A and B are shown apart, each in its own frame.
Chain A
């Protein structure tokens, strides 16, 4: 698919505006944001979804990539910390490089914090979408580097949590280094007589 532009200016950006139920749509006029996104240069298609992260929402993205031959995808929804990986995988499924995806946060940074200022929040959402589309124009496909993972774990702390984590990993076949500051493991738990709710001894 169109990962690299055939010629400069041949941008085809898809914008997906998420309502997140009422989390976003309760404050922001998503239809107005969508209508505005259509007016932006290089935007080939705008789709408004109830839940963009759910399967039907993702399918809309995949469908639009094929139908409109999109080479950039912008999703205006929540924080990238939750769903950036979701949408990167989604566009990758349609054989678009995941780095040609851009996320605009209109939930945590907009609808949730401006609940009493609907018009201004909508204006802000439009500005953020415009900024996201502007960035998307300059996105480039990237290749992620794969690194090996050393097959050993370091567990710091030999209290009940460290002991359990170390045993689980070691029982699973992994080498574990358990580092404890004190001369013995056991931590606070070892100083307890009985523990609830079983009322049995702690060691």
Chain B
């Protein structure tokens, strides 16, 4: 931690949050809000005079509420930067009647009650998201009495009670009578591997070994202490882990296979009695213990949505950030130039966090060392000859990459190539077909539609899937070997916003029974908000189909994320039934109606041409 504080090339911005990130790989423009600290960190010498006079006492978050801190405080002795911070919510304020004492005693005059948040702009070529995790709150497991019994604590609280820098100076005491317990129990998997709707279904990875560590600390500090661990499976899978587990057993720690179902407290002794089915012996057992530790699991950060939005990332079903590929690109985010490290990706211990962080740094270094990167040639281009200067493209573009046309000067819009991300929403909205998406041109997609519907069109589920989410959701179903019917014939576009009305109409015109458009969930859209245009266009299309006497239900819209292989397979199964429901007569009728529409349109165009010539 100290190394970070004094590194000449690291600009440390604590008490700060990223507000916005614009731009693209190699060229991110970031706004950071430096929140008011009310103490100048460059001037503060951490002399502690301010804390001595502060009259406010609030629970100390760092000590898990076991002790109190002042309104002006140092988070913990080794904090970096080593500067006090004033929490304005706790402070009585700089009112001469109310308080203002800390500023009076600060010889360096580094306390400023009028400090303001500051917005700072920074330019970065790469971003590493290492926003971490939170621990599971065991309150909802009321049978363990966390809120009712003083001597039931969590594993995070255990850390503070055994720590020399903790509220008890490292003397392990139980809260009810401040005596060192002679017996202690640990219950594993609190909020992890749960199937009863409470907690989470995944394994939190760290709790088994953390408990093994805790028992070793106790045996070291208090030889002869009776420690019992209640578990469903002990997972000591890492390097050196089995040794620690065996050492703990050799020290006399009892490992009992079974999760207690009930806990009662003796009113006189404050001891706890656990009732458990020992699944090794098949017997019901009772254990009286003086103290109990709940090995709480790891959960995604509750403010994780913010990071997701900032960097257009997705999460897997457990709520952790999804990597670009689970095996081959484990620290790359799907957004180019963004990398992930630590518990934001999945629950992991210190060693794995460090490993992943070094990997992310190495991946990021590739871009930084090269000093340049190539951008996929999938951007949009405007054909001025076809443009009617309506300007819809400039309105649609989520990146403001299109300079609006000048109708009077008959100047067509232009695309800033470096800013265009290639979603194709502009091309799909352009009624004049004046926008060419490089590598995803109309002709290319139309050719795919025609090829797919060339043979047995009535049997196929023509599917458009966006590259980032729905296509990847299909990949996810494949990797998981989820089986679904063979009806689907899929066309990949970068974004569902690329799916032009005429693609859908053309597919129905050629005999498609059902057309599925699938894209990212609104919050996952990889092109900021291009997916909104998908929704608007589908609404228009449903109306149009309805007016033409074509059942709108035959055009389906589904949001499928990259992690939702299950959903992809489910949609495929549902739509298999949908395809079978559409009769050949219905398809023939649709084809006739759309052929007539096409003929009318062509006639109108030729009349106009005649008019022009005349």
The chain A residues found within 8 Å of chain B, CB to CB, are 79-82, 99, 105, 107-110, 112-117, 120-121, 123-124, 127-128, 130-135, 137-140, 142-170, 172-197, 199, 202-203
Contacts and interface: CB of A to CB of B under 8 A. Distances in A.
A131 B342 contact: no
Interface string B5-17: 1010111111111
Interface string B261-283: 00000000000000000000000
A202 B13 CA distance: 22
A144 B81 contact: no
B125 interface: yes
Given A165-B358, A169-B361, A191 B156 contact: yes
A191 B76 CA distance: 9
A170 B15 CA distance: 21
Main secondary structure of the interface of A (DSSP, over half): mixed
14 contacts: A109-B490, A110-B486, A124-B489, A131-B448, A131-B489, A145-B417, A149-B25, A158-B130, A160-B357, A161-B353, A172-B368, A188-B133, A188-B343, A193-B163
Indicate the size class of the contact surface on chain B: 35 or more
Contacts of A196: 209-210, 212-213, 241, 244, 349
B595 interface: no
B404 interface: no
A103 to B, nearest CB: 9
A154 B78 contact: no
Contact of B129 (A127, A156, A166, A176): A156
Given A144-B377, A152-B123, A159 B447 contact: no
Given A113-B484, A134-B448, A156 B213 contact: no
A195 B241 CA distance: 12
Contacts of A81: 324-325, 472, 475
B504 interface: no
B450 A108 contact: no
B357 A162 contact: yes
Contact of B370 (A109, A127, A149, A189): A149
Given A130-B454, A183-B15, A203-B1, A157 B9 contact: no
B15 A182 contact: yes
Contacts, number: 361
B569 interface: yes
B27 A148 contact: yes
A185 B483 contact: no
A190 B1 contact: yes
A71 to B, nearest CB: 16
Contacts of A182: 14-15, 75
B478 A112 contact: yes
B239 interface: yes
A113 B210 CA distance: 40
Given A135-B448, A147-B373, A196-B210, A176 B489 contact: no
A184 B44 CA distance: 14
A113 B481 CA distance: 5
Top 7 closest pairs, chain A to chain B, by CB? A161-B342, A108-B478, A142-B377, A134-B451, A149-B26, A168-B361, A164-B357
B371 A149 contact: yes
Nearest to A80: B492
Nearest to A117: B486
